Amino acid sequence: MFETLQAQPADKILALVQMYREDPREMKIDLGVGVYKDATGLTPVMRAVKTAERQLWETQDSKVYTGLAGDPAFGDALVDLVLGDAVSRDTVAAAATPGGTGAVRQAFEMIQMARPDARVFVSDPTWPNHLSILNYLGMEIVPYRYFDAETRGVDFNGLIEDLKTARAGDVVLFHGCCHNPTGANLNPTEWDAVIDVLLQTGATPMIDIAYQGFGDGLDEDAAATRKLAAAVPECLIAASCSKNFGIYRERTGILMAVSADTLATGLNQSTLAFLNRQNFSFPPDHGARVVTMILKDDALRADWQAELEEVRTGMLGLRTQLAGELQRLSGSDRFGFLAQHRGMFSRLGTTPELVEKLRKDHAIYMVGDSRMNIAGLNPQTVPVLAQAIIDAGI
């Protein structure tokens, strides 16, 4: 029977990884893979994670299943981390998922259950998994403008114009701070305008947040998500612990459904549990338990936040260094957007042909749309990249 299956398109990121590995040049720079790396090229296990895992190993006396929605303590810890006191806890349904992508999938499934004809507005650009899941589920995708190729910032006027075409029953997918692949973020005033449009149209927002703590700080990075959740009648939030806790392979995520009243919360909670049951029954627990231990223990949390702050300021330093080096080499401030962007990613705003030129002539690997992972740099490779960008005529 399986001879009827169709070959699926190759993953472009994985293909780029393989090309990088096979490149024999000694000086080569990988800016394609979307994982954090330190100055040595390692994705380290955070100190607090190691300590919590050691404590867990010593004290855990059972590996029995948790509930369908995961350990309630994990839900409480993540709701507090992401939403703070923006909404009442009893208006938030939450279920643990296999990573942030698992939360996104469950969110889309929940939307489809509630509104089979819902349109999902998605920023241009967004992450491939968003589009892939939506297409697989057969849900209608409506792109909205986001990135301005001239300024390398947000095309805010285009964004607002497109969002005004949404209607009640539609869903608008937003990125939390640092999550858009371009590195460009909406400012607080722009978020206020977005909220006004949502209230006018009746569309439901969904936020995918995976880099809290990578931009301007834990609370600062959650500010837009909190403001949005507090302002609208209901919303969905898919959150990941892969990046800010460095536990990529543990697949630790959560889906939150914020509602206007506790009656709706109960229905949402039972729906989330039902969806988990249909997809994987009980969610993975190890990463979720480690995260819970860190967030509930003052000493572990302080150590985690200190290390996360080192990660955040390190990336900001690389951004400032790269923007300064490019200004020196080009004699202009046209690359100043690199210092304004936040998180791991920035989009140079150049052509696939020049991206390919960077790879062939300089062994610099980035995605074809010129998205690059700033965390793939270190102080020694920043000047190399800057010179290559100038030499390539970008």
What does the pLDDT average to over 134-163? 97
pLDDT at 191 over 90: yes
pLDDT per residue over 12-53, tens digit each?
888 898 999 999 999 999 999 889 999 888 999 999 999 999
Domain 65-296, CATH: 3.40.640.10
What does the pLDDT average to over 249-262? 96
pLDDT of residue 12: 80
pLDDT of residue 33: 83
Q: Where in the chain is the domain with CATH 3.40.640.10?
A: 65-296
pLDDT band for position 164 (cuts 50, 70, 90) = very high
pLDDT of residue 9: 81
pLDDT band for position 8 (cuts 50, 70, 90) = confident
Alpha-carbon Rg of the chain, whole angstroms? 21
pLDDT of residue 254: 98
Percent of the chain with pLDDT over 70: 100
Mean per-residue pLDDT of the chain: 96
Would you say 260 and 53 are in contact if contact means Cβ atoms under 8 Å apart? Answer: no
What does the pLDDT average to over 61-87? 97
With 0-12 CB in 10 A as exposed, 13-18 as middle and 19+ as buried, what is 9?
exposed
Where in the sequence numbering do the catalytic residues fall?
A: 127, 208, 210, 243
pLDDT of residue 10: 78
pLDDT band for position 63 (cuts 50, 70, 90) = very high
Would you say 53 and 228 are in contact if contact means Cβ atoms under 8 Å apart? Answer: no
Domain 10-44+313-391 homologous superfamily, CATH? Aspartate Aminotransferase, domain 1 (3.90.1150.10)
Which whole-number Å values give the CA distances from 40 to 145, 181, 375, 389, in the listed order? Answer: 37, 24, 11, 23
Q: Where in the chain is the domain with CATH 3.90.1150.10?
A: 10-44+313-391
pLDDT per residue over 293-346, tens digit each?
999 999 999 999 999 999 999 999 999 999 999 999 999 999 999 999 999 999
Would you say 371 and 346 are in contact if contact means Cβ atoms under 8 Å apart? Answer: yes
Would you say 288 and 70 are in contact if contact means Cβ atoms under 8 Å apart? Answer: yes
Whole-angstrom Cα distance, residue 365 to residue 356? Answer: 8
Would you say 206 and 173 are in contact if contact means Cβ atoms under 8 Å apart? Answer: yes
Listed in sequence order, the residues at least 6 apart from 368 whose beta carbon sits closer than 8 Å to its beta carbon are: 12, 352, 355, 356
What does the pLDDT average to over 260-271? 95
pLDDT of residue 14: 82
pLDDT per residue over 200-252, tens digit each?
999 999 999 999 999 999 999 999 999 999 999 999 999 999 999 999 999 99
